[in-house]
């Protein structure tokens, strides 16, 4: 469950890629959607489209070939751009000498040490999942904003790039797993700044209890699970951050009740570490465990890694620059990042009259599609409404490479392309 920062083949799962038939193509199914943003857009009236046959196979998940044409299509129900498709299969969390892989392994070490290898680990499940798995199976309401095309990458009306690792939770439960950790890359249309990126990584933990587990304790099932959950996660926080002050905050998630967030006092600030809770009984009933109780937690690897490793910009996780990668080559938790350069940003402003369909996430998708990781931030700096009721926004775009200086010619070219695409694709009027 990605609770803040935001869950088989023939022989069950066997640690290979997890897949099933969907609209003629085998697609794959990871933590709960503990946060999202933007306005909801109904998808029920969108026409259903069938999968096209792959033209050329570029990705291989557990022997199943996935081509670009399976994911990126010239289709009104598809909003996956090429720059997002290019991230599929990269799986930074599986690189032991990468900060995300190092953090994942440290969490594994905690669970292996404290739970005698009870927790099954899954970190290679493909991120192409059904809408049912991504939303319905974890009780996300039909009108929840996370379902909108503004927030989620849709391959077609029934298929998405997973928004959270809980998309695999129901299948794992039905397959008989009672203790598991699911780690993977997740995808959300989002804003552009130093802490947000459309692809990030989450880990979900899930534990199921049988009646004999709690009956001798004198506690009811829910209290027993909540007590065990808090003890587990306080231990995990200490394992990662050392002897820190902690506090629990009551919150709400649609898939757990009661629900909590764990905060730690770190570097003179309260830091939200993860979200968690006692799993809703409806999820257990639907998946063959009506007499059980369970807990679940979810955390964002980038969020914690940026704190533990002092990494200032989320784009750096995707860098292949040896000045970055060599600093983490020993796979040690908590190695502090040493900045190797600080190239100046270049700012470009753009103003336009809004259309009724305009959203900031769509703007960010256009900018990111043209500038890629050269765009550092897109920020609204001014807005007003005239006497005719027309609204104007002015956005400041910061261009900056983490690895080199950008030329004036290069930036001007990017900005002209952005302006052209914003006007053509977003139906706005430039000022």
Whole-Å CA distances, 171 to 22, 28, 165, 405: 15, 11, 12, 48
Tokens representing 365?
């998708």
d(CA 401, CA 403): 5
pLDDT band of residue 233 (cuts 50, 70, 90) is: very high
Q: Give the model's pLDDT for residue 62.
A: 64
Q: How many CB atoms lie within 10 A of CB 109?
A: 12
- 113: burial class by Cβ within 10 Å (0-12, 13-18, 19+)? exposed
CATH code 3.30.930.10 region(s) in the chain: 58-326
- 101: burial class by Cβ within 10 Å (0-12, 13-18, 19+)? buried
Q: Is 362 left (phi over 0), alpha (psi -120 to 50) or beta?
A: alpha
Tokens representing 195?
């802490």
d(CA 359, CA 62): 37
Query: Which tens digit of pLDDT belongs to each residue from 19-39?
Result: 333 333 333 333 333 433 333
Q: End-to-end CA distance of the chain, in Å?
A: 43
Q: Give the model's pLDDT for residue 60.
A: 74
d(CA 393, CA 375): 19
pLDDT band of residue 66 (cuts 50, 70, 90) is: confident
Residue position matching structure tokens 């999202």: 36
Q: Give the model's pLDDT for residue 58.
A: 63
Architecture of domain 58-326: 2-Layer Sandwich (3.30)
Q: What is the CATH number of domain 346-430?
A: 3.30.70.380
Q: Is the pLDDT of residue 47 over 50?
A: no
pTM: 0.85
């Amino acid at each position: 469950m990605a609770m803040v920062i935001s869950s088989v083949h023939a022989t069950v799962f066997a640690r290979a890629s997890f897949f099933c038939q969907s609209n003629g193509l085998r697609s794959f199914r990871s933590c709960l959607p503990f946060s999202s943003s933007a306005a909801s857009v109904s998808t029920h009236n969108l026409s259903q489209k069938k999968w096209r046959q792959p033209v050329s196979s570029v990705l291989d998940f557990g022997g199943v070939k996935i081509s670009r044409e399976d994911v990126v299509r010239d289709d009104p129900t598809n909003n996956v751009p090429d720059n997002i498709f290019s991230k599929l299969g990269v799986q930074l969390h599986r690189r032991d000498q990468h900060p995300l892989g190092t953090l994942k392994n440290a969490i594994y070490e905690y669970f292996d040490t404290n739970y005698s290898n009870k927790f099954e680990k899954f970190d290679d499940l493909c991120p192409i999942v059904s809408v049912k798995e991504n939303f319905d199976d974890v009780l996300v309401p039909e009108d929840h904003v996370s379902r909108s095309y503004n927030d989620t990458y849709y391959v077609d009306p029934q298929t998405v790039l997973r928004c959270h690792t809980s998309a695999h939770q129901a299948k794992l439960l039905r397959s008989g797993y009672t203790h598991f950790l699911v780690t993977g890359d997740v995808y959300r249309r989002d804003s552009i700044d130093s802490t947000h990126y459309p692809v990030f990584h989450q880990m979900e933990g899930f534990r199921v209890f049988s009646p004999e587990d709690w009956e001798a304790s004198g506690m009811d099932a829910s209290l027993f699970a909540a007590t065990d959950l808090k003890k587990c996660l306080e231990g995990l926080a200490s394992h990662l951050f050392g002897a820190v002050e902690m506090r629990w905050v009551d919150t709400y998630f649609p898939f757990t009740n009661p629900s909590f967030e764990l905060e730690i006092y770190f570097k003179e600030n309260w830091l939200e570490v993860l979200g968690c809770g006692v799993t809703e009984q409806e999820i257990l009933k639907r998946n063959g465990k009506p007499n059980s109780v369970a807990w679940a937690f979810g955390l964002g690897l980038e969020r914690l890694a940026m704190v533990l490793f002092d990494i200032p910009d989320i784009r750096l996780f995707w860098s292949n620059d040896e000045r970055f990668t060599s600093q983490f080559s020993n796979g040690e938790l908590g190695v502090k990042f040493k900045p190797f350069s600080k190239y100046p940003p270049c700012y470009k402003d753009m103003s336009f009259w809004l259309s009724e369909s305009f959203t900031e996430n769509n703007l960010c998708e256009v900018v990111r599609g043209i500038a890629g990781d050269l765009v550092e931030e897109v920020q609204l700096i001014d807005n007003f409404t005239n006497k005719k009721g027309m609204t104007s926004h002015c956005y400041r775009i910061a261009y900056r490479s983490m690895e080199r200086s950008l030329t004036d010619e290069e930036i001007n070219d990017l900005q002209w392309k952005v302006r052209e695409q914003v006007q053509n694709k977003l139906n706005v009027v430039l000022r």
